[in-house]
Chains A and B, each alone.
Chain A
Amino acid sequence: MKLFRIGMVVLVIGISFLITTHLRARVLDTGTIGNYLGFFGPFLFEPRETTLVLREAEPPQNLTVAIVSQNSWNPERTIREADTALLLVGLSQADAVVFKIGTRGLYWVLVMTETGELTGDTELSVEQKGLSEDLLWFSYTLIIVGITILIFQRLRGLKHS
């Protein structure tokens, strides 16, 4: 009976997480944000579909967008010190890129020129939509573990009877 309760609780937590993952799938949009520094954030990027739109940049062509972890860089440090999680090269003003960050965490978005300098007047927007993969896998894992415990308990019960 105890094993049945443990299995049920794990299963219910897994299903609840799955429902929550779907509830959290709503679109999160920063709207248009801009500054004269060329870097933005830090943003919490979840492992789900992220769209970045370069609305305006100075200079407008041959732009590189780097997504760097907050732990590896802060605005007081030089760009060379940054540990880049994702590098998008050859972009122009008004380009939109869709990417997915592998690990949930806080990231800066750096917009650079071809010489590696941060751009001047820059405007962009970031949008996240879809399901978070980590939460999805976590809920699947819990559901499988819960079902396995319940099956094991059932088989054990059949064996004893």
Chain B
Amino acid sequence: MTGKFRELIAWELEENWDFPVLELILAITIIQVLSLVTLARDDADLLANISRPLWSSMVFVFAISAAVVFGRSFGESIERRKLVVLLSYPVSRVQVFVAKFLSNFLATLCLFGSALFVEGILLYMFKPNVYWLMFGDTWIMEVGNAPFIWGLMFFTLLLVVFFASSLMTFLSLMVKRFGLSVLIFLIYLFGMEYWAGAVGNRVPQAYLSLSLGPESIVRYLTAWYVNTFTENYMGTGALTVGFFLTGFCYLLMGGLVFLLASLILSQRIDLD
């Protein structure tokens, strides 16, 4: 990493995560994550009691955080001509774009990742006998397999944050306005949540939701892990490979397409 690039990242973090952005996101994340955990249940199920409520309650936090962080970083810096000033220094547009996106993406991921990590610590400190009660009374997993599922949750978190970051970056560069880009982003995300929630879970488009999609990724890959690497069997119920791929590809391919489009847009955008 060159010195110039490092300086750009440091500048971005200092500028974009200044008081009270970091504090606000921290507060919302802690309150959302820690208040949903039902640890006192004797029959805690990692997928049903932890994964499902986490994704459904965190959609709001992902959306607001991505909107504020990436909207400020790209939309507001164009609106207030900070980007023009930044580009007057001997740095290329690609360098500025990559530094901005990478620093904000990693900071957001660290923040949510640490919340998930704390939740995991709490779970294993206070509920070490958690098991996975999937269907009827069949105990299908041992506690030793939990790190794999936790790893899956981190991986899915990465996908969700990547998608939300790329989409918001694209919208900010497209409309060049902070407020308008936030509005379009939130209408799109919550509109999708509403629409996907209304069609039921037996059609692929339901898995375009940021709550059901990640949950299905964790559940499907857990079932694959159980059936491939252990002697147990775990069914996936209504969740088919097509539904899983819908959720997975929407987040991964959608994120990549929006990121690429943002990169191209950042090269051609008129800043005057």
Which residues between 128 and 171 of chain B lie within 8 Å of chain A, taking CB atoms?
Answer: 128-129
**A105 vs B31: C-alpha distance when bound (angstroms):** 22
Interface residue tally for chain A (C-beta within 8 Å): 25
* A106 touches B (CB below 8 Å): yes
B34 and A20 contact, CB distance less than 8 A: yes
B30-62 interface bits toward A, Cβ cutoff 8 Å, 1 = contact, 0 = none: 110011001111100000000000000000000
A15 contact from B27, B34, B126, B129, Cβ within 8 A: B27
Assuming the contacts A42-B129, A44-B126, asked whether A23 and B23 have C-beta atoms less than 8 A apart, the reply is no
* B26 touches A (CB below 8 Å): yes
* B22 touches A (CB below 8 Å): yes
Q: In the complex, what residue of chain B is closest to A105 when comparing beta carbons?
A: B126
Expressed in whole angstroms, the minimum distance between the Cβ of B49 and any Cβ of chain A is 12
* B19 touches A (CB below 8 Å): yes
Assuming the contacts A9-B23, A44-B39, A46-B40, asked whether A16 and B126 have C-beta atoms less than 8 A apart, the reply is no
B127 and A16 contact, CB distance less than 8 A: no
Interface residue tally for chain B (C-beta within 8 Å): 19
B163-182 interface bits toward A, Cβ cutoff 8 Å, 1 = contact, 0 = none: 00000000000000000000
* A100 touches B (CB below 8 Å): no
Which of A16, A46, A104 is the most central at the interface, judged by chain B CB atoms within 10 Å of its CB?
A16
B26 and A13 contact, CB distance less than 8 A: yes
B3-44 interface bits toward A, Cβ cutoff 8 Å, 1 = contact, 0 = none: 000000000000000011011001100110011001111100
Inter-chain contacts of B128 with A (CB < 8 A): 106
Which residues between 1 and 52 of chain A lie within 8 Å of chain B, taking CB atoms?
Answer: 4-5, 8-9, 12-13, 15-17, 19-20, 23-24, 28, 30, 41-44, 46
Inter-chain contacts of A12 with B (CB < 8 A): 23, 26-27
A16 and B30 contact, CB distance less than 8 A: yes
A16 contact from B20, B31, B42, B129, Cβ within 8 A: B31
* A128 touches B (CB below 8 Å): yes
Expressed in whole angstroms, the minimum distance between the Cβ of B11 and any Cβ of chain A is 15
**A19 vs B31: C-alpha distance when bound (angstroms):** 7
Q: In the complex, what residue of chain A is closest to B32 when comparing beta carbons?
A: A20
Assuming the contacts A9-B22, A44-B127, A106-B126, asked whether A24 and B34 have C-beta atoms less than 8 A apart, the reply is yes
**A102 vs B128: C-alpha distance when bound (angstroms):** 19
Assuming the contacts A20-B31, A24-B34, A106-B127, asked whether A43 and B42 have C-beta atoms less than 8 A apart, the reply is yes
Expressed in whole angstroms, the minimum distance between the Cβ of A15 and any Cβ of chain B is 7
A44 and B40 contact, CB distance less than 8 A: yes
**A106 vs B127: C-alpha distance when bound (angstroms):** 7
A42 and B126 contact, CB distance less than 8 A: no
Expressed in whole angstroms, the minimum distance between the Cβ of B129 and any Cβ of chain A is 7
Q: In the complex, what residue of chain B is closest to A30 when comparing beta carbons?
A: B42
Q: List 7 A-B contacts (CB under 8 A).
A: A4-B19, A16-B31, A23-B31, A42-B42, A42-B129, A43-B42, A106-B129
Chain A positions near chain B (C-beta within 8 angstroms): 4-5, 8-9, 12-13, 15-17, 19-20, 23-24, 28, 30, 41-44, 46, 70, 104-106, 128
Starting from the known contacts A19-B27, A23-B31, 16 additional A-B residue pairs (CB-CB under 8 Å) come to: A9-B23, A12-B26, A16-B26, A16-B31, A17-B30, A17-B34, A20-B30, A20-B31, A20-B34, A23-B35, A24-B34, A24-B35, A28-B40, A41-B42, A42-B129, A44-B39
